[in-house]
Amino acid sequence: MDDHLVISLFRHGLTEDNKRRAYVGWSDPPLAREATVALELLKTEVDNQTFIITSDLKRCVETAQFLFPRSQIKEDSRFREINFGEWEGKTYADLAEDSAYQRWLSSPFTIKPPSGEEYIEFTNRIDAAWDEAIQKIKKVGASSAAIVTHGGVIRYLLTKFAPVKREFWEWDVRHGWGYELSWPDRKLGGEGRCISLREVPSMEKPSG
């Protein structure tokens, strides 16, 4: 009997704010009209999961509903992107002369955006959401599940659980794409580095 646990992490589709390269954390734009083009490609490789968790923001909920139209979707605000505070909706060009922004760029893992969220606060809530999600998945006896979330969330989780160690910014997490993580033991799955990682839609051979 296959005792693997597979968790798929999917980034939401493109929004208009993403197109203009604005900081979009807790702000809540919907998907752009053309987002479904990339999501159609992803949908062809996505199983009709029965256990789906999504960030509660529109772009993630809409993506989850598109990918899993026949599944019950559970929203969890703890899977939101980092809160950029006063920089929400602004671009690099808007903030280039802001000294606080320049300091943050030099040390984004230690400096907090004004009225925003420090990186350690962000990772602590992701850890709490992940641990609770894994326990729920195991409780219902599911062998696979999907989490629809944001780029920063996925990068952080990959730094913790991918079989190959990479830094946060080394992970390529595109809109409407994701990663499938697999653990060999369902009882221990989600609690340490996985044994294989597959990009979805598939572009390369699995690593690990």
Would you say residue 187 lies in a domain? yes
pTM, two decimals, is: 0.94
Q: Is the pLDDT of residue 203 over 70?
A: no
Residue 191 belongs to a domain with what CATH number?
3.40.50.1240
- pLDDT tens digit sequence for 145-188: 999 999 999 999 999 999 999 999 999 999 999 999 999 988 87
Question: Would 110 be classed as within a structural domain?
Answer: no
- 13 a known binding residue? yes
Tens of pLDDT along 71-93?
Answer: 999 999 999 999 999 999 999 99
Q: Please state, rounded to an integer, the average pLDDT across all residues of the chain.
A: 93
Does residue 98 form part of some domain? no
**Considering the domain boundaries, does residue 208 fall inside one?**
no
Query: Which one from 12, 117, 150, 199 is the annotated catalytic residue?
Result: 12
pLDDT of residue 130: 98
User: pLDDT of 20-75, one tens digit each?
Assistant: 999 999 999 999 999 998 899 899 888 777 799 999 999 999 999 999 998 999 99
Please identify which of the residues 34, 40, 62, 81 carries the catalytic annotation.
Answer: 81
Residue 1's pLDDT band (cuts 50, 70, 90): very low
Task: Using the predicted structure, report yes or no on whether residue 99 has a pLDDT greater than 50.
Answer: yes
Give domain status of residue 185, yes or no: yes
Q: Residue 79 has what pLDDT? A: 98
62 is in an annotated binding site: no
47 is in an annotated binding site: no
Active site residue 81: yes
91 domain residue, yes or no: no
Domain containing 156 equals 5-81+118-200
In a domain, 101, yes or no: no
Q: Which of 190, 125, 128, 120 is nearest to 160 (CA)?
A: 190
Q: How many domains does the chain have?
A: 1
Whether residue 104 is contained in a domain is answered as no
